[in-house]
């Protein structure tokens, strides 16, 4: 930075991130980054076989572009920006990808997709990929906090807003852009920030998945342009007409961008999703899962369920009759039905062909929502819920969950992440291939090349198959 240029919180953050060196990163950070890669690759593999994942993969392959980047679920390689687009869409494709709690963002679908695509194209090492992931997560978390919550309440999807900038950091670190090039890439990426939450209103759910794909692609494109000399505003985040001013509301926190740099890293405080639904629903799913296990509850025993949670969840997640997967994953009532009648952690319960299961719908119809001021006061730091179940034999069962399974307060272990990965990859890859991916991911910390991971992702894919969706019925009322 020249002596005539005034540093801002965002430029100080970028300067710090570009100064990171993979050889000096603490082992615990590399371990968390390794888990992030494995978890998000699993989410992406699963999403690649969903209708939206197939559409974006077909679109990318039809272009016949040349590149070295992996396309999830395929044995073909494609250009890095398109790989980031398709893989980001697939990774965000079934509400399984991780969250930065309090920042309202999904970092992995964006950052891992962008960083991996760039790393494969530029033949980066495993540690360099992990460094890009660590840096990208840091930007995603800090920018999400800096943006505040008001913009999200107004209808912006924070992952689509902060994502292009985080993707640019992740990809830019991987391909070793200079500080000035990275600032240019961020400036470019800021002009691509986009995403509205109209998808929460019951139709068009595919577009929500694409927000992460667009963000990942935008970050990779920004880096490739900046590398070639294309410029963007240095203060696109926190300058005049920057992202915080234009999209952020009255609760922006610019100081979050560079506060206490280096004292802790966001990658160690990630919420790895245990349940395949909106994060605001996880405490409810956790509560009902535990009550079901402890009391051996069945759908026939449910007389009434009261979900007492925050205003945001009641307003956003109250669709009693979802007709497509996205709407179901945003429905507290439907998710309550899944938790009691099926397996709260099984994404197949939200597949289109399973949406009208009578046992799920009967429990959903007996589920009621209300705002609990105590739970509401904890938002957005905690997505808390108090769940009260009244059974047909007269019992009243209650459970309050402040932080659900998978959150930093109750984290998944590496073995649990590996088990989640295996479950998600099973419809896509042969068992031996699943194990090869797991091993390659775990060895990234010392891998001189990404070839073992890339090869394991392209080999052993099962042929896609799909069943026709079940016919909707209203006989569950």
Neighbours of 246 (CB within 10 A): 12
* Distance from C-alpha of 216 to C-alpha of 111, rounded to nearest angstrom: 7
Count Cβ atoms within 10 A of the Cβ of residue 66 and give its class: 0-12 exposed, 13-18 middle, 19 or more buried. Answer: exposed
Residue 421: its pLDDT value, please?
97
How confident is the model over 252-278, as a mean pLDDT? 95
For the chain, state the CA radius of gyration.
Answer: 22
The sign of the torsion formed by the CA atoms of 90, 92, 93, 99 equals positive
CATH number among 1.10.4100.10, 3.40.50.300, 3.10.450.40, 3.40.50.10490, domain 9-269? 1.10.4100.10
pLDDT tens, position by position, 430-444: 999 999 999 999 999
Indicate the pLDDT class of residue 202, thresholds 50, 70 and 90: confident
CATH 3.30.1330.120 in the chain: give the residue spans. 279-401
pLDDT tens, position by position, 64-114: 999 999 999 999 999 999 999 999 999 998 989 999 988 989 999 999 999
* Distance from C-alpha of 169 to C-alpha of 185, rounded to nearest angstrom: 8
Structure token digits, residue 232? 């963007």
CA atoms within 13 Å, Cβ hemisphere of 344: 25
Whether omega for the bond prior to residue 448 falls within 30 degrees of 0, making it cis, is: no
pLDDT tens, position by position, 394-442: 999 999 999 999 999 999 999 999 999 999 999 999 999 999 999 999 9
CATH 1.10.4100.10 in the chain: give the residue spans. 9-269
Q: With CA atoms as reference, report the closest residue to 83 among 134, 108, 117, 37.
A: 117
What average pLDDT does the structure give for the chain? 94
Domain 279-401: top CATH class:
alpha beta
pLDDT tens, position by position, 222-245: 999 999 999 999 999 999 999 999
pTM for the predicted model, two decimal places: 0.90
Name the 3-class secondary structure at 135: helix
Higher-pLDDT residue of 385 and 203 is 385
Residue 322: its pLDDT value, please?
95
Neighbours of 271 (CB within 10 A): 25
């Amino acid at each position: 930075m020249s002596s005539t240029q005034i540093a801002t919180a965002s430029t100080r953050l970028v300067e710090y991130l570009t100064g990171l060196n993979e050889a000096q990163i603490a082992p615990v950070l590399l371990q968390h980054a390794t888990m992030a890669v494995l978890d998000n690759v699993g989410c992406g593999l699963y999403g690649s076989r969903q209708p939206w994942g197939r559409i974006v993969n077909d679109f990318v392959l039809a272009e016949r572009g040349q590149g070295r980047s992996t396309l999830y679920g395929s044995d073909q390689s494609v250009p890095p920006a398109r790989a980031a687009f398709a893989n980001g869409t697939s990774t965000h494709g079934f509400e399984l990808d991780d969250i930065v709690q309090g920042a309202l963002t999904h970092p992995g679908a964006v950052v891992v997709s962008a960083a991996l695509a760039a790393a494969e194209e530029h033949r980066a090492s495993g540690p360099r990929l992990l460094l890009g992931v660590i840096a990208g997560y840091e930007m995603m978390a800090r920018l999400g906090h800096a943006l505040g919550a008001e913009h999200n309440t107004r209808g912006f999807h924070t992952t689509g807003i902060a994502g292009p900038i985080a993707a640019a950091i992740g990809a830019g670190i991987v391909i070793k852009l200079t500080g000035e090039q990275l600032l240019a890439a961020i400036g470019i990426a800021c002009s691509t920030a986009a995403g509205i939450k109209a998808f929460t209103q019951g139709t068009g759910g595919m577009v929500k998945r694409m927000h992460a794909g667009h963000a990942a692609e935008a970050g990779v494109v920004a880096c490739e342009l900046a590398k070639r000399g294309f410029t963007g505003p240095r203060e696109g985040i926190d300058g005049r007409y920057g992202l915080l001013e234009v999209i952020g509301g009255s609760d922006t926190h610019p100081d979050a961008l560079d506060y206490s740099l280096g004292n802790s890293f966001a990658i160690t405080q990630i919420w790895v999703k245990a349940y395949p639904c909106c994060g605001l629903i996880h405490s409810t799913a956790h509560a009902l899962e535990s009550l079901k296990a402890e009391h051996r509850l069945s759908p026939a025993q449910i007389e009434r369920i009261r979900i007492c949670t925050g205003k945001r969840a009641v307003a956003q997640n109250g669709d009693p009759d979802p007709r497509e997967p996205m709407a179901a994953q945003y429905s507290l009532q439907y998710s309550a039905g899944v938790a009691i009648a099926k397996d709260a952690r099984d994404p197949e319960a939200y597949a289109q062909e399973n949406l009208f299961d009578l046992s799920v719908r009967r429990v959903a119809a007996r589920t009621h929502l209300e705002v609990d001021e105590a739970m509401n006061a904890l938002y957005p730091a905690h997505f808390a819920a108090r769940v009260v179940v009244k059974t047909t034999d007269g019992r009243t069962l209650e459970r309050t969950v402040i932080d659900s399974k998978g959150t930093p307060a109750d984290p998944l272990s590496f073995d649990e992440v590996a088990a989640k990965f295996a479950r998600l990859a099973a419809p896509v890859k042969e068992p031996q291939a699943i194990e090869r991916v797991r091993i390659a991911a775990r060895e990234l910390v010392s891998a001189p090349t990404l070839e073992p991971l890339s090869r394991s992702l392209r080999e052993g894919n099962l042929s896609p198959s799909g069943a026709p969706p079940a016919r909707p019925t209203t006989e569950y009322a």
